[in-house]
């Protein structure tokens, strides 16, 4: 095994994975999601390193994962307008002007997962 492959294998074996229930899609069918790491870990990291609130960290995490305001609102049980207001605060705190810049900063902060 090459040195590069060995390092990748070691990193993969150290990450935790969990299965999350999403919904039931049929009588005997369930939609599950395989999650690498804990969402709380990423949220805490964003909160600490970027000095945002807990809720702003949640919104920023979902932005970094490519979700729309409407999707985030549904996930967090908020209105899309509330999500937009959180984003306005996030942009100001991070010193960025748009969603893409905020997402890029979040991804760099938590690393690619």
Map out the domains of the chain as residue ranges.
1-37, 38-113
pTM value > 0.85 = no
Secondary structure of residue 13 in the 3-state scheme? helix
CA–CA separation, 93 and 78 (whole Å): 21
Secondary structure of residue 81 in the 3-state scheme? helix
* In the block, residue with structure tokens 């990291």: 45
* In the block, residue with structure tokens 């150290």: 14
CA–CA separation, 35 and 16 (whole Å): 8
Q: What is the pLDDT of residues 57-75, one digit of tens each?
A: 999 999 999 999 999 999 9
What CATH topology corresponds to 38-113?
A: Arc Repressor Mutant, subunit A (1.10.10)
Q: What is the pLDDT of residues 16-52, one digit of tens each?
A: 566 777 788 888 888 887 766 555 688 888 999 999 9
Helix-helix angle 80-94:69-76, to 10 degrees: 110
CA–CA separation, 46 and 40 (whole Å): 10
CA–CA separation, 8 and 28 (whole Å): 37
Residue 103 belongs to what H/E stretch?
helix 99-110
């Amino acid at each position: 095994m090459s040195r590069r492959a060995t390092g990748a294998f070691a990193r993969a074996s150290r990450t935790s994975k969990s299965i999350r229930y999403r919904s039931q899609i049929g009588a005997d069918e369930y939609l599950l999601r395989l999650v690498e790491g804990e969402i709380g870990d990423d949220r805490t990291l964003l909160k600490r390193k970027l000095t945002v609130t807990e809720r702003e960290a949640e919104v920023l995490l979902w932005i970094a994962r490519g979700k729309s305001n409407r999707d985030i609102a549904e996930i967090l049980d908020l209105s899309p307008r509330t999500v937009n207001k959180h984003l306005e605060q996030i942009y100001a705190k991070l010193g960025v002007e748009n969603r893409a810049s905020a997402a890029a900063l979040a991804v760099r902060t938590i690393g690619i997962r």
